[in-house]
């Protein structure tokens, strides 16, 4: 664990421009617009439960990646749902240019019952070589989120760790996985019932979903020093052994689950090669924004302004899961008005 030893210094740093981000499973204004959105139906169940804790399906609707250099943190947001059956969200982060694993090695740290090494042999797009891995999952009673992290060093080995759990107090109170050892924080809000459907011919779009998996990682853990950060995320089976078709960047329209058999069965022999799949199966801080809608644009006018404040005031007061509850506090109140005011202006800026 020596390589992780300096993280406490980062945690102690003062607040920064990203002080508005709260790890609660709801997109904050500081994230801006997503860098990737889902174009493909979910083959792992369309989530319909509508509560924060558990979900009956998994979908990755949109992806955000933000670097807060002054504060020392990397923020990743994956909107959508994780079925509460211990399926895995696999998050791969390319944060060191010229290093990492364009093809996953079989000598990575033993985390999550050696689940990481199930991915050995997986080949990514040519300009994606991840250096850091995070996986999270949830299930049980009460519903509980768990996570593990690991280095993906160019030559393998490296360090990894289980970073704890975040229990849901009840179905509609946000959870928090607060890793006081390494400084990571995660939350998941499973209340989305929109986003993509399970219909391969008419999947809809992942745009507009603002709840899901929220991740905060100290930059010092990742090895990042400068440059773009790229993220690739997908939903995998409970044993890290059956990739779904929920990948960001998106698989092409109509793509089935990679485990059946796009060679995402991770059986230790042949594996999925994302370089052979159309499009970038990653997204980057350098990418253009995607999705026409934007944070705070409650009336869908294409900009954030007084019309959105007016809509927000209509829902003023206790309003769990309301679209106008931008900060996810369960109340539409001055905090949400303040977020709208911070976002005032044209979308896509
Ligand atoms: Ca948040
Ligand atoms: Ca790299
Ligand atoms: Ca959906
Ligand atoms: Ca590709």
Centroid of ligand 3 to alpha carbon of 287 (angstroms) = 25
Residue 50 phi/psi, 5-degree rounding, is 75, 25
Nearest-ligand number for the alpha carbon of 277 = 4
Centroid of ligand 3 to alpha carbon of 41 (angstroms) = 8
Taking the C-alpha atoms of residue 65 and residue 287, their distance in angstroms, rounded to an integer, is: 10
Cα distances (Å, whole numbers) of residue 50 to 208, 237, 267, 321: 15, 22, 34, 9
Centroid of ligand 1 to alpha carbon of 325 (angstroms) = 12
pLDDT of residue 292: 60
Nearest partner of 196 among 25, 33, 40, 26, judged by Cα: 40
Is-contact 117 267, C-beta < 8 A?
Answer: no
Nearest partner of 80 among 219, 245, 216, 238, judged by Cα: 245
Centroid of ligand 3 to alpha carbon of 47 (angstroms) = 5
Q: What is the residue-level pLDDT of the chain in tens, covering all 349 positions?
A: 444 544 444 444 445 566 689 999 999 999 998 999 999 999 999 999 999 999 999 999 999 999 999 999 999 999 999 999 999 999 999 999 999 999 999 999 999 999 999 999 999 999 999 999 999 999 999 999 999 999 999 999 999 999 999 999 999 999 999 999 999 999 999 999 999 999 999 999 999 999 999 999 999 999 999 999 999 999 999 999 999 999 999 999 999 999 876 676 766 566 899 999 999 999 999 999 888 656 677 776 667 888 888 888 888 998 876 778 777 678 889 888 887 887 788 765 4
pLDDT of residue 283: 98
Is-contact 190 144, C-beta < 8 A?
Answer: no
End-to-end CA distance of the chain: 41
Is-contact 150 109, C-beta < 8 A?
Answer: yes
Centroid of ligand 3 to alpha carbon of 218 (angstroms) = 31
Centroid of ligand 3 to alpha carbon of 57 (angstroms) = 8
Beta bridge partners, 280, equal none
Which domains occur in the chain, in start order?
1-291 (no CATH), 303-346 (1.10.1330)
- Classify residue 175 by its DSSP letter: P
Nearest-ligand number for the alpha carbon of 81 = 3
Q: Report the SS3 class of residue 277.
A: coil
Other beta carbons less than 10 A from residue 173's beta carbon: 13
Centroid of ligand 2 to alpha carbon of 130 (angstroms) = 5
The tokens for 62 are 């949109």
Is-contact 60 78, C-beta < 8 A?
Answer: yes
Q: Strand pairing of 230-236 and 212-218?
A: unpaired
pLDDT of residue 261: 64
Nearest-ligand number for the alpha carbon of 228 = 2
Is-contact 130 93, C-beta < 8 A?
Answer: yes
Centroid of ligand 3 to alpha carbon of 212 (angstroms) = 12
Centroid of ligand 4 to alpha carbon of 174 (angstroms) = 34
Q: Strand pairing of 73-81 and 88-94?
A: unpaired
The tokens for 332 are 């539409």
The tokens for 206 are 């992942």
The pLDDT tens digits of the residues spanning 230-240 come to: 999 999 999 99
Radius of gyration of the chain (CA): 19
Centroid of ligand 4 to alpha carbon of 110 (angstroms) = 27
Q: Strand pairing of 230-236 and 247-248?
A: antiparallel
Cα distances (Å, whole numbers) of residue 310 to 45, 83, 128, 298, 329: 36, 35, 44, 10, 19
Centroid of ligand 4 to alpha carbon of 249 (angstroms) = 9
């Amino acid at each position: 664990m020596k390589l992780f030893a300096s993280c406490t210094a980062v945690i102690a740093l003062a607040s920064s421009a990203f002080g508005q981000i709260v790890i609660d499973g709801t997109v904050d204004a500081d994230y801006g617009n997503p860098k990737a959105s889902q174009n493909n139906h979910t083959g792992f169940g369309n989530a319909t439960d509508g509560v924060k804790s558990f979900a009956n399906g998994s979908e990755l609707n949109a992806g955000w990646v933000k670097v807060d250099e002054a504060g020392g943190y990397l923020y990743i947001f994956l909107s959508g749902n994780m079925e509460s059956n211990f399926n895995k969200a696999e998050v791969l982060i390319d944060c060191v240019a010229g290093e990492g694993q364009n093809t996953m090695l079989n000598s990575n740290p033993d985390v999550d019952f050696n689940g990481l090494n199930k991915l050995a042999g997986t080949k990514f797009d040519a300009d994606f070589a991840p250096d850091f891995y995070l996986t999270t999952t949830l299930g049980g009673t009460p519903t509980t989120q768990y996570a593990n992290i690991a280095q993906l060093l160019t030559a393998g080995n490296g360090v990894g760790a289980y970073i704890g759990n975040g229990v849901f107090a009840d179905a509609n109170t946000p959870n928090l996985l607060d890793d006081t050892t390494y400084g990571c924080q995660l939350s998941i809000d499973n209340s989305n019932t929109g986003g993509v459907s399970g219909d391969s011919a008419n999947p809809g779009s992942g745009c507009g979903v603002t709840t899901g998996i929220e991740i905060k990682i100290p930059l010092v853990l990742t090895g990042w020093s400068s440059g773009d950060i790229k993220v690739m995320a997908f939903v995998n089976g409970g044993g890290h052994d059956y990739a779904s078709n929920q990948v960001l960047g998106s698989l092409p329209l109509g793509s089935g689950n990679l485990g059946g058999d796009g060679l995402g069965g991770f059986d230790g022999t042949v594996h999925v090669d994302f370089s052979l799949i159309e499009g970038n199966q990653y997204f980057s801080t350098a990418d253009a924004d995607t999705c026409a809608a934007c944070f705070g644009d409650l009336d869908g006018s294409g900009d954030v302004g007084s019309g959105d404040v007016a809509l927000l005031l209509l829902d003023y007061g206790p309003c769990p899961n309301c679209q106008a509850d931008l900060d996810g506090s369960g109340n539409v109140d001055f905090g949400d008005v303040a977020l709208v005011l911070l976002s005032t202006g044209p979308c896509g800026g």
